[in-house]
Chains A and B, each alone.
Chain A
Amino acid sequence: MSATPFPAGPIQHCQGRAVVVPGDDIDTDRIIPARYLKCVTFDGLAEGVFADDRRERAGDHPFDRAGNQGAAILVVNRNFGCGSSREHAPQALMRWGIRAVIGESFAEIFFGNCLALGIPCLSADHDTVLAVQAAVAAHPGALLQLDLEPPQVTLQADGEALAWPLELAAGPRRMLVSGEWNGTAQLVAHDAELRATTGRLPYLAGFATA
């Protein structure tokens, strides 16, 4: 379970060991089965992360292997986090200890939910992701250094550094690096602009005037 504090403030780097969960189209029902959503806080979600997959694999799931305990960087494949919009999915990953995700692609709602928690989801092409996964497998316990500017991941092993470029769109990158990824205050601050917007939407007044 997570020993490091949850993300806060500017996020420019992330360091830690990696855990690889292979497979395309891993949906949020698999990341956190619906029965764990019966809660009014996110506090206890770590125990439910990948619960059914882990039971099916009977101890051999990546999240159960001894060498992966304490890992901070999750490496996945394509369309990770598809399906339900449940923020419980990134919350469960975060409470287990994940602080960044690398993959070929992410479902949009999942990507946005991670961003709102300060968890960067960085992408790379198919071959790069496979290369990162292979390197992690070849160097168990190796430390990865993830940088956001420019986006890249570096694996330190056997006295050498293997590095791969990653992608993260400019908008989310700026939000993370500046620490403005949790932007409620920013939205609330634009109240005058909000009023101007509501003034041009006739449905807000029930189309009462022409």
Chain B
Amino acid sequence: MSAGTLYDKVWELHRVADLPGGATQLFIGLHLIHEVTSPQAFAALDDLGLSVRHPERTVATVDHIVPTTSQARPFADPLAEEMLATLEANCARHGITLHGLGSGRQGIVHVIAPELGLTQPGMTVACGDSHTSTHGAFGAIAFGIGTSQVRDVLASQSLAMGKLKVRRIRVEGTLQSGVYAKDLVLHVIRTLGVKGGVGYAYEFAGPAIEALSMEERMTLCNMAIEGGARCGYVNPDAITFAYLKGRPHAPAGEAWERAVAWWSALASGPDAVFDDEVVFDAATIAPTVTWGITPGQAIGVDEAVPTLEQTDSDERPIAEEAYRYMDLRPGVPIEGLPVDVCFIGSCTNGRLSDLRAAAAVARGRQVAAGIKAFVVPGSEQVAAAAEAEGLDAVFREAGFEWREPGCSMCLAMNPDRLEGRQISASSSNRNFKGRQGSASGRTLLMSPAMVAAAAVSGHVADVRRLIATPSSPEPAPTPA
């Protein structure tokens, strides 16, 4: 059983009570809500005659259903309009802050909470969205919940939870140029499997992790859930504190010094005990691309679609299903596979450093004929910062569309979606059957730079050949 880890310390600090069923009642420090998984929770709260216990600890935005072309109200889709109107009414009635369209602070929930300084080390963070694991990048314990649990957090600012085991994923060495956090996490999932993390929290540690920027750490923790781990985290350090300093909700002045001391003490100590440990070597990781229908069906861009013989026996049925669905033959190299649509964005890779890395590839090149390519900033702040340094112009000149912020084609709850058998190069997080809005649409997951490389090449391409130097500096906090 783990001991002395950040996970253990944060768990103990937030323990409210031990429940008769054996679960722990855990205080939730930050509750994030959006339009898709909250309306039924508010309705249930009404049915129970309860109010919101800590409205100041819930923050709302709208992301899944917003169009990325025109965000004028009312939306063309009456269902989308009803969902946003319902969120607005619920927030107004319960005194919850809503960062709405045009506020300057709207965006994908897992992009805006960090950039506003809402997400901080040592917090428990819950949201009705599985990619809540993103916030673990700050040394928070953050996990996705269902709507009944959203109701519980609204009613009691707490949840009934079972404690997870902790697996340390130690990454030695240095990532090659052209290899990003996205490649690293796809490699981890490919190795440990999509269910390898069930029952675990993942602590990402080691020199390669400590070298990552905060935005890269967010990409990494975002996809912990794709490996089955409900939460993933990185211990807070100087990079974490530098990112937070000066953000709207970060402590300031003397409070800042007290905060840094408290945060620092929460990191897993040298004597921390883990339930399991796996070690990776960053230097061996290539730009990584999914070829199948789960995020674990991933290969290096210089590899071929695995054959059945190369596949573990219990993974063969889903490999065969993937060959059929993707219309890919085993043994075929993934590089050179033609794509139809290129999507840069999402809570995984819709931040400023992602757009910079993609723009570095797109600059001076042209989107290949017949390809639809578009860039969706993760938030209004990301959009403003990118426009301030001219990235929108770089993308437009290269033939990409530059869109308004939202979840866009990651999950197709808005007008952005694949059609028919289209195949996309996507910087998002899920390549499930039908995920991008067409029941037969196909998705190849990869880093934003790799998506840009695919866009200008017309097919899956090794971005290492297209870039001269790596480029993912840490963006400075932007004024809100």
CA distance A169 to B163 in the complex (A): 13
CA distance A109 to B131 in the complex (A): 12
Q: Within 8 Å of chain B (Cβ to Cβ): is A198?
A: yes
Q: Within 8 Å of chain A (Cβ to Cβ): is B391?
A: no
A105 and B21 in contact, given A87-B37, A117-B148, A206-B255 (Cβ under 8 angstroms): no
Residues of A within 8 A of B132 (CB): 85
Per-residue contact bits, chain A 25-61, to B (CB 8 Å; 1 contact, 0 not): 1010110011101111110000000001101100000
Which chain B residues in 1-39 approach chain A with CB under 8 Å? 13-17, 19-23, 25, 27, 29, 36-37, 39
Shortest C-beta distance, B389 to chain A (Å), equals 32
Q: Is the CB of A197 within 8 A of B195?
A: no
Which chain A residues in 160-209 approach chain B with CB under 8 Å? 169-172, 174-175, 178, 180, 182-188, 190-191, 193-194, 196-198, 200-204, 206-209
Binds A, one of B366-374, B433-441, B469-477: B433-441
Count of chain B residues near A, Cβ 8 A: 83
Q: Is the CB of A190 within 8 A of B152?
A: no
A-B contact count (CB 8 A): 216
Residues of A within 8 A of B159 (CB): 187
Q: Within 8 Å of chain B (Cβ to Cβ): is A68?
A: no
Which of A23, A84, A170, A201 touches B13 (beta carbons < 8 Å)?
Answer: A201
Q: Is the CB of B434 within 8 A of A171?
A: no
Q: Within 8 Å of chain B (Cβ to Cβ): is A62?
A: no
Residues of A within 8 A of B411 (CB): 29, 34, 84
Which chain A residues in 105-122 approach chain B with CB under 8 Å? 105, 107-109, 112-113, 116-117
Residues of B within 8 A of A207 (CB): 251, 255-256, 258-259, 262
Q: Is the CB of B13 within 8 A of A200?
A: yes
Closest to B434 in A: A52
Q: Is the CB of A34 within 8 A of B157?
A: no
Binds B, one of A2-10, A13-21, A75-83, A138-146: A75-83
A184 and B433 in contact, given A85-B129, A197-B16, A204-B29 (Cβ under 8 angstroms): no
Shortest C-beta distance, A183 to chain B (Å), equals 5
Q: Within 8 Å of chain A (Cβ to Cβ): is B173?
A: no
Which of A42, A107, A109, A184 touches B151 (beta carbons < 8 Å)?
Answer: A184
Residues of A within 8 A of B321 (CB): 23
Shortest C-beta distance, B370 to chain A (Å), equals 26
A108 and B198 in contact, given A40-B83, A87-B146, A184-B155 (Cβ under 8 angstroms): yes
Q: Within 8 Å of chain A (Cβ to Cβ): is B162?
A: yes
Q: Is the CB of B21 within 8 A of A171?
A: yes
Q: Is the CB of A41 within 8 A of B39?
A: yes
Residues of A within 8 A of B376 (CB): none
Shortest C-beta distance, A165 to chain B (Å), equals 21
Most buried by B among A33, A34, A41: A34
A116 and B149 in contact, given A194-B156, A203-B29 (Cβ under 8 angstroms): yes
Q: Is the CB of A56 within 8 A of B439?
A: yes
Q: Is the CB of A84 within 8 A of B130?
A: yes
Q: Is the CB of B16 within 8 A of A193?
A: yes
Shortest C-beta distance, B258 to chain A (Å), equals 4
Which of B20, B21, B39, B434 touches A29 (beta carbons < 8 Å)?
Answer: B434
Which of A56, A79, A116, A186 touches B146 (beta carbons < 8 Å)?
Answer: A116
Per-residue contact bits, chain B 177-199, to A (CB 8 Å; 1 contact, 0 not): 00000000000000000110011
CA distance A25 to B40 in the complex (A): 27
Q: Is the CB of B144 within 8 A of A109?
A: yes
Q: Is the CB of B160 within 8 A of A25?
A: no
Which chain B residues in 99-154 approach chain A with CB under 8 Å? 120, 122-123, 128-130, 132, 143-149, 151-152
A27 and B123 in contact, given A55-B439, A184-B151, A207-B258 (Cβ under 8 angstroms): no
Residues of B within 8 A of A79 (CB): 194-195, 198, 228
Closest to A114 in B: B146
Q: Within 8 Å of chain B (Cβ to Cβ): is A24?
A: yes
Residues of A within 8 A of B314 (CB): 24, 78
Q: Is the CB of A33 within 8 A of B434?
A: yes
Which of A24, A55, A113, A191 touches B148 (beta carbons < 8 Å)?
Answer: A113
Enumerate 23 A-B pairs (CB-CB under 8 Å) in ascending A order. Answer: A25-B318, A37-B64, A38-B79, A40-B40, A40-B43, A78-B195, A84-B130, A85-B144, A90-B146, A108-B199, A117-B148, A169-B22, A174-B21, A174-B22, A175-B23, A180-B20, A183-B19, A187-B160, A203-B122, A203-B123, A207-B255, A207-B262, A209-B258
Apart from the given pairs A79-B194, A109-B145, 11 other A-B contacts in the complex at a CB distance below 8 Å? A25-B195, A27-B430, A34-B435, A78-B195, A85-B129, A87-B128, A186-B20, A187-B156, A194-B53, A198-B27, A207-B255
Please give the residue numbers on chain A whose beta carbons come within 8 Å of chain B beta carbons, in ascending order. Answer: 23-25, 27, 29-30, 33-35, 37-42, 52-53, 55-56, 78-79, 82-88, 90, 105, 107-109, 112-113, 116-117, 169-172, 174-175, 178, 180, 182-188, 190-191, 193-194, 196-198, 200-204, 206-210
Please give the residue numbers on chain B whose beta carbons come within 8 Å of chain A beta carbons, in ascending order. Answer: 13-17, 19-23, 25, 27, 29, 36-37, 39-40, 43, 48, 50, 53, 57, 64-65, 77, 79-80, 82-83, 86, 120, 122-123, 128-130, 132, 143-149, 151-152, 155-160, 162, 194-195, 198-199, 226, 228, 230, 251, 255-256, 258-259, 262, 294, 314-315, 317-318, 321, 411-413, 430, 432-435, 437, 439-440
